Structure 1
Amino acid sequence: MPPDVEAQLRTRAFARVIGPYVATFGIVYAIRLPELTGLVDELFAQPFQMLMLGALMLAAGLVIIGIHRNWRGPLAVTISLFGWFVAIRGFLLIATPSTIEAGAAATLLSPAATTVARVFFAALGALGLVLAYAGWFTAPKRTT
């Protein structure tokens, strides 16, 4: 199998996993964001949980970065950027949890910021559906 086709298959494999995950959580967060205030407070009240969440996110992001080294095409770029986003977010949860907590609290306290966050999560959910479709229902392009 040519390396280009192998990279495309790897990209689609990541899209099959990341797409449904992002779609599910993006849509659920868009709908339930105002209800999650208590959950966010409880999560940040447990430093060990924040450390573990950050460590898992950093590890997951590094796995994506390390295994998916393809930046050719919009689908591949999206997967690679997602890996970097998750790794950076995980690092920030480990290094500066109070900054992340302050940002989450400020977002949930402001009706305008909450609306913007809900739109963001809805768009993220739509992106997840696109990734899932691309991962499950498209085939790699054959190069000659």
Structure 2
Amino acid sequence: MNASAESQARTRFFARALGPFLVIVDVTAVARASDMQALLSQFEANSMWAFVSGAFILLFGLIMVAAHQYWTGAPAIIVSSLGWLIVLRGLLLVAFPRAFVAVANSMIGAQGWWVSLCIVFALVGLYLTYVGWAPASRRPASHPATAVPDLPRAA
């Protein structure tokens, strides 16, 4: 497998997982917009949640960044960018949980912006789902010409 085929395969792999995840989480968050303030208050009430969830988010983001270092083509750029955003989110949750909660509170307070951002990420998720699950374009494999064909000799 050449480098281009490997990068496309990894991008499709991550797109298959990230696409549906983004769609499901963002659509659910918009549908449960009225519950988000209560969920954030409960999350903020126990600092253990921020640390534990941040550690797992950070680990997942670092795995994504380590496994997907490709920046050619829109799907690859989106996947790599999401990996770095996940690393940043995990780092903020582990190292600066109060700052993360303050930003989350301000986002939920500006519900129009927050819902718009969720819709944008859901659309990105739909795009990644398509990229990841649509049949890959198949190019005919080129076979090198051999000097001696497998034909019987006439004489």
Both proteins in one fold, TM over 0.5: yes
TM-score (norm 1): 0.91
Contact 1:5/1:140, CA 8 A, preserved across alignment: no
Is residue 2:108 matched to residue 1:108?
yes
Q: Equivalent of 1:126, from 101, 123, 127?
A: 123
Contact 1:30/1:119, CA 8 A, preserved across alignment: no
1:9 CA drift (Å)? 0.7
What's the counterpart of residue 29 of structure 1? 29
- What amino acid is aligned across from residue 7 of structure 1 in structure 2? S
1:23 CA drift (Å)? 0.8
1:1-144 to structure 2, matched below 5 A, reads 1-109=1-109, 113-139=110-136
- Runs of 4+ with deviation above 3 angstroms: 140-144
Distance 1:102 1:93, change over 3 A: same
State the distance in 2 between where 1:63 and 1:95 align: 19
1:71 CA drift (Å)? 1.0
- What amino acid is aligned across from residue 38 of structure 2 in structure 1? G
How many residues were matched structurally?
141
Root mean square deviation of aligned Cα: 1.7
1:41-85 deviation line (CA, Å, top 9, x unaligned) = 101111111101111111010000000111110000000000000
What's the counterpart of residue 150 of structure 2? none
The sequence identity of aligned pairs, in percent, is 30
Distance 1:85 1:140, change over 3 A: farther
Q: Provide the secondary structure at the position in 2 that maps to 1:80.
A: helix
